[in-house]
Every structure is written in structure tokens, then in C-alpha cells.
Amino acid sequence: MINITLKDGVAKEYQAPITPIEIAKDLSAGLAKAACAAKVNGELRDLRFPIESDANVSILTFEDAEGKKAFWHTSAHVLAQAVQHLYPEAKLTIGPAVDNGFYYDIDVEKPFVAEDLEKIEAEMKKIVKEGEALERFELSGDEAKELMKDNPYKVELIEEHAGKGEKLSFFRQGDFTDLCAGPHLMNTSPIKAIKLTQCTGAYWRGDANNRMLCRVYGISFPKASMLEEHLKMLEEAKKRDHRKLGKELELFDIFEEGPGFPVFLPKGMALRNTLEGYWRELHRKAGYLEIRTPLILNEELWHRSGHWDHYKDNMYTTVIDGEDYAVKPMNCPGGMLVYKSKPRSYRDLPLRMGELGIVHRHELSGALHGLMRVRCFTQDDAHIFMTEDMIKDEIKGVAALIDEVYSMFGFKYHVELSTMPEDHMGSLEQWEQATSALENALKELGRDYVINEGDGAFYGPKIDFHLEDCLGRTWQCGTIQLDYQMPERFDLEYTGADGEKHRPIMIHRVLFGSIERFIGILTEHFAGAFPMWLAPVQVKVIPVSEKHMDYAKGVYQKLFDAGLRVELDERNEKIGYKIREAQLEKVPYMLIVGDKEEEAGNVSVRSRSDGDKGVSTLEDFLCAIKVEIDSKAQ
């Protein structure tokens, strides 16, 4: 007999071995029906996994993020099975679950079109109706290659995994079998609603030298109503697409001459400068010093930092005076040089240095996406140099700063702790020490967090902050990374109270992440209707007719002199047309001036959100919006 401790802390005794699905059935028929996967001693497991000793077990449903992934992973297998039925000549490659659904990469002679997706979707629904059970089994490397001999992509994966000594597991559902680690649903019947959303190109294994595959994306749910809700959200997301709004509101553009290199237009610069001004004031109050480091530094520096060995495929390089240089993909090595620019004492620590640093990273053209994925962007980096006993307080200070920023914009967020990746620098002892420091700080802050195994930076573990926008989508923006490696590599020192030399410890951190990406997120979150303090144009003055132009110009000048971002509509158009245009431009306030306003020296105020707000003196209007701007009201 073994003891199984459940999510709520209740322990139950079972005959070993027992599987998570058997435990779920014992607890309730409803839970067994909803079960998608399980956590056994903190590790994600298939529902068929045999538990042979005492364990902590959580049954995961579609309500859990990892349960969703198992549900969507099974849906990807259904997609592949449908393609196999309809297009037997197609070669199936990989089909994982992603953050919002699933995809499968398929080698076909002719890329799928909308009509093909409709056929595949219909076939998927037939497969789901049959409710095929998924059966897991394992094979040796030779057996696996024999099973998949007609698919070179699967054979390549089998050879790779077998070469690492990994188990080769397969899942079979009816007439379809796929190489897969799982986890999966027990059968296909819980997939009540399916929608294939798009088809794009993707290189095999992300390598442009390999064959271009057809990537089919989809989404699925256990209830039809959930799919309807999701499709409504997608429609709303289309309206809010920052690429569309960026052009309509004249914020930014990306030209054929520079794919991945965004150009900010005057209104976009007004928004960006306001955001950066807020960043600077926030950091001044938090005790940061601002620096600026070069865009290009020599190759030797990048070897010293470790980026050359771990990141060179993403770096742009050049030659100057016969010497190799690299365009910086990250700001941290420049921060090391600033620290080393003069002797440091323990009295200088903690030393907090912030930088709005432009970086360049080589991204594949297929991965580029508006401001969300670019090749040139500005990171709001900061590097904090400190002693061992300062770590916890500095981490807590950064976490508080991130909370202040996200809360001010109205974002909810969740936290992940990412641990040591396979490709890393430094000893296991240093990584354990650094990870423990981050974990202890989170516990002291009372923050709930999840462990993201193996996703740390190559030089240290990190805390990632995932914010949630108004449509419920999540974006990883803020991060806190603890680093023992770079101070060692750059031989950083400070003189301690004992007069001896010591090695500082370092935090890398960002709040916005990338200024460009954060602007993209804000644009979609607010649907382009930015709050007053951020709006590129805060007020538009609209004369009723040509004869009111002089008075309108006077109003404009007073607003301009008061420091507002204001425009005057001088076009010879009807007043209704001008108001509608200003509304489409999402200007927070319109000031209408005609005969009555000019005679009384007033303005008629119209709000973007509330419509007509009546007549006001210009002074009263200025006082009211100054309060709105200063409070950064949303």
C-alpha cells in the first residue's frame, strides 16, 4: 500500500501501482471525466503513469494551464490523424500545444488553403465522435525507426532522442500512431469544439536551410460555448491589432527597406517620449543612475561576457580597422565596463544603473510581428551591483517597482521562477544559491509563483512577470535575473569594510522589457484610446467655421503654452465630420468653438468616452485635465 497526498492536503491509501486516472475515478466520476493530465511530485505526468511509491498527486483539468496543454496536445494528434486520412502522401513532423491552442507542421507539396482547413476540421470532428482511446507504448530505437521508416522527419527525431539515451514513447489512437512524450487525454471524446484558425509557413526545426513546412494552427475546447467566446475574443483582438492601429493612428510603421526595424512617426514619438519620461522619473525616485553604453563593442568583450558562445547566432557583426566587432544584443556587458571605470567601495553598494539601451538581434523573418517581435528595440535595462546580504532586499525592491508599473496601467500579472537551463555557465552550487535567493524573496513578498524548469538565462535563474491584458492574453515583460557569472568573468571588485577585495553580485532586470513591445501591448490593451497622460494628441481644437479660426488659434496657443499635446483642425469641413474624425483618431478631448463660445470666451468640451460635457472656461478645463494627467488616470 502507498500513501497519495492530494492537492488539498488529504492523504489516501492505495494499492500500488496506481495511475492518476484511477485515483481520479476513485475521487469522483466528474473529476475522472474532466481529467487531462496529472502532477506527480511536482512533475507533469500522463494519466496512465504508474505510481509505485508514496507521492503528492494533483489531477489537472482544462482549468489548469498544464491541463489545457495536454488537451491541446491531444487535439494536435487529432489534426495529424485527419490529415493522414485526407492527404496520405503528407509527411507529419511535430505538433505541440502552444499558449493558445496547438499546431502541427506538415510537409505537403502544395500548402493548405482555407477550403483544405475546412475539410480537415470536418474530419477531425468525425474522429472526435468516434472517441478513440489513446494507448501509450515504448519501443527501442531500431523498432521505432522501423515503425516510422517512411517518415524521414520522425526518423531524425528518433535518432536524436535515442542518441541521448531517452525513452522513445508513442501514442496510438485508432489507425494513427505518433512519436510523442505526452501527456494526453484518455480518449478523443472530450474535445467538443474545434477550430482551425490559420495556416502559415515554417522551416523544419526553425532553420532557413531546411524545407519549408505547412504549419496549421488550431484551438479546441471541452464546450462549444467556450469556442464561441474565444472566437469573439479573436474578433476583438483583430480590431485592436497594434499593427492596424499603428498605421491608422500614425504611431509607427515598418517599411520593406527594413523588415523588423520599426520607424516611429511623430505621434508615436510623443507616446514613446512620455513613456520614457515616466520611466526616468520612476527610476530617479528609486535611486537609479542613468547610463548610455555603445551600440558596437569588440568581439573580445562578447567572448568575455559569454554571449559569443551562447548567443552568437542572434548577433550582427562587423569589422572596424581590421578588428571584429558585434552590434550589442544586450546591454549588460556595457554595464560591466561602467562598473569597472573606477574603484568601488562597499559604501557605493547597492549601485543601481539604468539604461534605455538600443539592442539588435537577428530574428528569422517568419518570426517578425509588428512591434511584438523585431530586430531592433530598446530595453529598459538596469543592473544592480550588491553584496550577498543585499540580494533579498534588492529583489524585493525591483518586484515592488514592477508591481507599481503594472498596477498603474491596470494590468494583472502572474510570476514564474525559471531555473538552470542545459546551456549554462557556472557551478551547480552557484545556481542553487542564486535560485534559493530568488525563491526566498518571492516567499517573503507573499507572491504566488510557478516553477518554469530549465528556462533561466545562461548566466543565472530569473523571475519572469507575465502581465494580462484586457482580453485575458498574457505577455512576458518584466524580469529579474540573478547573476554570479558576469561579475566573475569581468573581474568586478569592491573594497569591503575589512579593506579586502570582494566580488559583487549582480541583478539584471527590466520593467517594460522592450519599449517597442510594451507600446504594442498598450496599443492593443487600450484599443488605441490611450489615457490622457499618454495620448499622442491630448486635445483637438475644432472651430465651427472659418470665421471662428482666429479665436480657435488663441485657444490652441494657450493649450500649447500650458504644455499640452494639442492640434488645431483648420480644414474647411463640416463640424460633424471633424468631430467624427477626431473620435476615430481617439483624441481624449475636443474643444468646439463657435459664435457663443467666442462671445463668452469659453469652449464647448466633448469627451472621447462621455460625449458632450457642456461649456467651460478654458482655465477650468486646463485645471481639470492637469489633475487627470498628473494622476495618470486610466
Please state the residue numbers annotated as binding site for Zn(2+).
332, 383, 508
DSSP SS3 for 566: strand
Known catalytic membership, residue 307: no
Q: Which of 36, 180, 332, 376 is catalytic?
A: 332
Known catalytic membership, residue 608: no
Q: Which three cell numbers stand for residue 477?
A: 515583460
List of E strands, 387-461: 412-418, 449-452
Degrees to nearest 5, angle at CA 200 with 197 and 202: 135
Q: Which of 462, 509, 517, 578 is catalytic?
A: 462
Distance CA 597, CA 554 (A): 12
Residue ranges for the known binding site are 332, 383, 508
| Alpha-helix runs per DSSP H in 330-427 | 332-339, 391-408
List of E strands, 306-399: 317-320, 323-327, 351-360, 376-386
Q: Are 155 and 145 in contact (CB under 8 A)?
A: yes
Known catalytic membership, residue 247: no
Count the residues in the chain. Answer: 634
Strands 289-290 and 351-360 come out as parallel
Q: Which of 242, 383, 548, 586 is catalytic?
A: 383
Distance CA 127, CA 82 (A): 7
DSSP SS3 for 48: coil
The CA-atom distances, in angstroms, between 583 and each of 149, 469, 609, 624 are: 62, 23, 9, 20
Known catalytic membership, residue 381: yes
The DSSP H or E segment spanning 115 is helix 114-130
- Phi, psi angles (nearest 5°) of residue 144: -65, -45
Known catalytic membership, residue 462: yes
DSSP 478-529: EEEEEESHHHHHTT--EE-TTS-EE--EEEEEEEEEEHHHHHHHHHHHTTT-
Known catalytic membership, residue 161: no
Q: Which three cell numbers stand for residue 285?
A: 525616485
Known catalytic membership, residue 283: no
**Which has the closest alpha carbon to 269: 404, 372, 378?**
378
Q: Which of 68, 240, 361, 373 is catalytic?
A: 361
Q: Which of 46, 381, 469, 483 is catalytic?
A: 381
Q: Which residues are catalytic?
A: 332, 361, 379, 381, 383, 462, 508
